[in-house]
Structure 1
Amino acid sequence: MTNETPRRLRYAMVGGGRGAFIGAVHRHAIALDGLAGLAAGALSSTPERALESGRALGLPEAHNHPGWQALLEAELKRPAGERVDLVVIVTPTDSHFPIAQAFADAGFHVVCDKPLVHTGAQADTLVETVAARGTVFGVTYNYTGYPMVRQAREMVRSGVLGTIRKVVVEYNQGWLATALETTGNKQAGWRTDPARSGIAGALGDIGSHAENLVSTVTGLRIEELVADLGALVPGRALDDDASMLLRFEGGARGVLVASQINAGLENDLRLRVSGERGTLEWRQEEPNRLVHHRGEAATEILTRATPWLGEAARRASRLPPGHPEGFIEAFANIYRGVFAEIRGRRDGTKIDPLDADFPGVGDGARGVRFIECAVASSTQRRWLQVAPPLRRAGG
C-alpha cells in the first residue's frame, strides 16, 4: 500500500499558440484542477510562430517543436515512461484528421476540438483506430461540462419529464453579421473558408455544439432531418445561418437553429426539452440555472451546487452556491473526465462512469454525419435519414 500522490499527467498541444483564443482556454481549463501540465508542443502551423509560442509558455527547447510531425517523432523516440500522456489538438478543422489519426495510431491518447473532422469516412477511420489501439479520445463539446446540463441529462433520462415529445435548440451569435473575414480576422478567415472549415460554416462551428447538446441531454438519436442552410452575408462561401426540423427515434420532434449573423447577440445557446409531464429550459449565458416547468405544479428553478441536485451535477461544481461558474469550468470538467479515464487505464483501476464523463470519438463521428446529412438535405431540399453510428464508436 502506498500513499504516493499520482504524478500529474503530461500533455502536448498542437496549435493554440499566440493569438489563438481557444488554445489559451484549453490550457487554463486543464490547469484548473492541477491534474496535468503542458510538457511539449507544436503550437502553430508556422514553424517560427510555433517556436516563439512555445518559448513564451516556458517549454524547454527539446520539447518545443516547429510542427506536429516533429513533435510526434520526438515523443516516439523517448522511453515510454517519459512520453506525454496525451495530445490536445486545437487547430482549424482541416488538420484534425491527419494529426489525430497519426497520434492515435501511435498509441497516444487524444483530445480534439470540434467538429471532429471533415468527412464521415475520416470519422469512421478514427473510430476504428481508437478501438484498435485502445486509446482514450475526447472531443471538446464543452457545453456538456456545465453542471446544469448534466442535471438536465439526469432528469430527462430518469423520466422526470415522461416521454420526450419536442426538443428545441438554438445557437445564435452575431459576430459574423458583417464580412469580418475580409478584414484580416484570423478566426473569421478560416471558419468561412471551405478549404479549412469543410462543407459547413455556422453549422459546423456552432451547429455541431447544438446537435451534441441535444444528444447528450436526451439520449435520443436524430433519425431524419430537413435543413435550410444559407449564406446571408453577400459573397460568403459557407453557410452563416442554418435552420432545420428533426425527427428523433421514438417519435419526438425537434427544431435546431445555428446562426452567426444575428447582429448584437453574443453566445446565445439555449435548449428546451418538453415531455408529457414537463419542460426543462437552459441557457448558456445563464448557465447556473435550470428551469423546470412542472406540468400541473409550480415552476421550479434549480441552481448549481445545491444539495438536491443529482450526483453528476454536484461533482461538476467546484464552488459553493451563488458563486458563478462558467465557460472555463465547463471545459475543465471535460478534461477532468478524460484524465480520470486515462489514469484508470494506466493504473488498472475501476473507473466510475461519473468521473470519466466526457464526449468521445463516437460523439464526434456522429456530429460529422449530422453535418453531412444537413448539408445534403439543404442542397436536395428534402428530408434525409441520418446515418447511424458505427458499433465500435467508443471514447
Structure 2
Amino acid sequence: MPVNAPLNRKLRMGLIGGGQGSFIGRVHATAALLDNRAELVAGALSSDPVKAKASAPDYDIPADRAYTSVPEMIDAELKLPADQRVDFVSVATPNHTHFPIAAAFAKAGFNVFCDKPLTFDLAQAEQLAEIVRDSGVVFAVTHNYTGYPLVRQAREMVMNGELGEINAIRAFYIQGWLRTRLEAENQKQAAWRTDPSKSGIAGCFGDIGTHAYNLGRFITGLIPEDISAHLKIFEPGRALDDYGTAIIRFGNGALGTVTASQISHGRENDLWIEVDGTKGSLEWHQEEPNKLLVRMNGKPHQIYTRNGGPYLGALAGVSTRLPSGHPEAFFEAFANIYAAAYDDIVKRANGQSFDREKSLYPSIGDGVDGMNFITQCVASSQQNGAWLKLKHDLCRS
C-alpha cells in the first residue's frame, strides 16, 4: 500500500527546538519517522543561531533548510513550491515559547505537534485554540502516554462498559531527579523547568502532573467538575512546586486523585493509574507498559498483555507493532500519537474534513483542558485547597 494514501508520499516534517543537548527533540524526530510515513527536511533547532546551524547535521537537515529563527523558517517555507514545503512542524521547546511558535505556524497554515503543557498560561491556550479553529490546521499535543496499546485497551474497556460505572480514578506520576537543586548547577533540563519565567505558574504539576491528569481523562472520558489541590515546594530555595496532590470531582459523581512528585528518592519515571468501576477495576504502570491488570471480585486477577490474543480490542491491536513477547514502550507510544494525527493531516491535504473533537490523538482541546487543570490547581493551593470549578467548555468526553 502506498505511503499516506491517497497522497502517496511521505509527509515533510520541520522540527522546532531539539538542538544539541536536547532530549525531547530527538524523541520527536525518532517517533515521527518510526513508521516511515514522514521525513525530517527542515528545522529551527535552537534560539541560538550558531547552535541552530551546528545541530542540523545531527538530523540530516540540509544547510539551506536549517533556519536560525521561526520567522525565517515560516517565510522561507512559504516561498517554496507547495510540493516541497513542510506539511507539519513539531514544537519541542520550553513552555514559554510554545504559544508564539505554535500560533505563528498555525496562522501560516502549517499543521502542528506541540509538547505539553500547551502554553505558558490559560489565556494563551484559549487564544491558541481560536487560532487553530480559524486556520483549520491539524493540531496534536504530545500527551504521549495515551499512545500505549494497553492504555488504549483500558479506554476501550471503559467505553464498552466492561468496568461498569466509573467510581474512582487514582493517577500518579512519581520521579526523584529533582530531590536536589540541580537548577543551581545549571543543569539544562532542571533550569528551565524550575524557572517561573520559562515554565509558567507550576513546576512539577505542570511538567508531569498534567500527564497523570490527562491519562485519567483519556481512559475514562469523564468530565471534571471541581478540583481541590495542595502544591508544595520541599527543596529550599526552589521557585516552583516539586510535589502536589489534587482531588477531582467528576460529573457522574466519581472521585479522582492526581499525585505528582519530583523529589521521591529512587523513583525514575513512575507514572501509573488505577480505575475503579462497579463491575471491575484496572491498573497500568508506564514502567511496565506491556501489562494491564484487571480485577473483579470473586474472580482470579487477569493480566492482559500487549499482544495477548483475541481478548484485546481493536484499538490495542492497531496500536501494536511487534509480535508477542517483544516489548514496545516509549518511542512506539510516542509514534502512535504521530500516526493518528498523520491520518488527519492526510485528510486535510486531500481536501477532506476531520473531527478534532473526536480524535484519538490529544488535540488542542486536550491542551487547553490541561492548562485549565494547572491554573485551577495553583489557584486552589493558594487558597489552602479551596474547591474551584473546572470549565466544562474546555473538556471533551
Q: Same fold (TM over 0.5)?
A: yes
Shift of 1:350: 7.9
Alignment of 1:179-218 (within 5 A): 179-218=181-220
Provide, for residues 120-176 of structure 1, a one-character-per-residue CA deviation record: whole Å limited to 9, x for no partner. Answer: 111111111111111100000000000000000001111111111111001000000
Residues in 1 aligned to 2:355 and 2:120: alpha-carbon distance in whole angstroms? 33
Distance 1:224 1:319 in 2: 41
Name the structure 1 match of 2:392. Answer: 388
* Other-structure match for 1:83: 85
TM superposition shift of 1:390: 4.3
TM-aligned CA deviation for residue 232 of structure 1 = 0.4
Matched letter for residue 135 of structure 1: V
Is 1:245–1:253's contact at 8 Å kept on the other side of the alignment?
yes
Superposition deviation, residue 86 in structure 1: 0.2
Choose the corresponding residue for 1:375, options 373, 378, 391. 378
CA distance in 1, matches of 2:281, 2:59: 46
Q: Given the alignment of the two structures, is residue 343 of structure 1 paired with residue 346 of structure 2, yes or no?
A: yes
Aligned length: 391
Give the counterpart letter for 1:104 in structure 2: A
Distance 1:312 1:329 in 2: 15
Change (3 A) 1:216 1:356: closer
Aligned to 1:364: 367
Q: Cα gap change, 1:247/1:5 in structure 2, threshold over 3 Å: closer, same or farther?
A: closer
In 2, Cα distance between equivalents of 1:255 and 1:58: 44
RMSD: 1.9
8 A contact 1:147–1:312 mirrored in 2: yes
Question: Is the 8 Å Cα contact of residues 12 and 87 (structure 1) preserved in structure 2?
Answer: yes
Q: Offset of 1:357 from its aligned partner?
A: 2.4
Q: How does 1:1-395 map to 2 (within 5 A)?
A: 6-307=8-309, 308-348=311-351, 357-381=360-384, 382-390=386-394
Please list every run of at least 4 consecutive aligned residues from structure 1 whose deviation after the TM superposition is greater than 6 angstroms. 2-5, 350-353
Alpha-carbon distance between aligned partners in 2 of 1:84 and 1:49, rounded to the nearest angstrom: 22
In structure 2, the CA distance between the partners of 1:118 and 1:258, relative to structure 1 (3 Å rule), is same
In percent, how many aligned pairs have the same letter? Answer: 49
CA distance in 2, matches of 1:242, 1:223: 19
Matching residue's letter, 1:362: G
Say which SS state the counterpart of residue 227 (structure 1) adopts.
strand
Deviation at 1:306, TM superposition (A): 2.4
The CA deviation at 1:321 is 1.0
Measure how far apart 1:348 and its partner are. 4.1
Q: Give the residue type in structure 1 aligned to 2:17.
A: G
User: For residues 118 and 184 of structure 1, what CA distance do their matches in structure 2 show?
Assistant: 22
| Farther-moved stretch of structure 1 (192-201 vs 68-77) | 68-77
Partners of 1:174 and 1:185 lie apart in 2 by: 15
SS of structure 2 residue aligned to 1:333: helix
TM-score, structure 1 as length reference: 0.95
Q: Secondary structure at the match of 1:81?
A: coil
Aligned-partner SS, 2:12: strand
CA distance in structure 2 between the aligned counterparts of 1:56 and 1:218, rounded to whole angstroms: 40
Distance 2:131 2:304 in 1: 41
Instruction: Tell me by how many angstroms 1:91 deviates.
Output: 0.2
Pairwise CA distance, 1:4: 8.3
60-69 or 159-168, larger mean C-alpha shift: 60-69
Query: Does the CA-based 8 Å contact 2:175-2:263 persist in structure 1?
Result: yes
Q: Which runs of no fewer than 5 residues in structure 2 stay unpaired?
A: none
Does the CA contact (< 8 Å) of 1:145 and 1:330 recur in 2?
yes
Q: Secondary structure at the match of 2:266?
A: coil
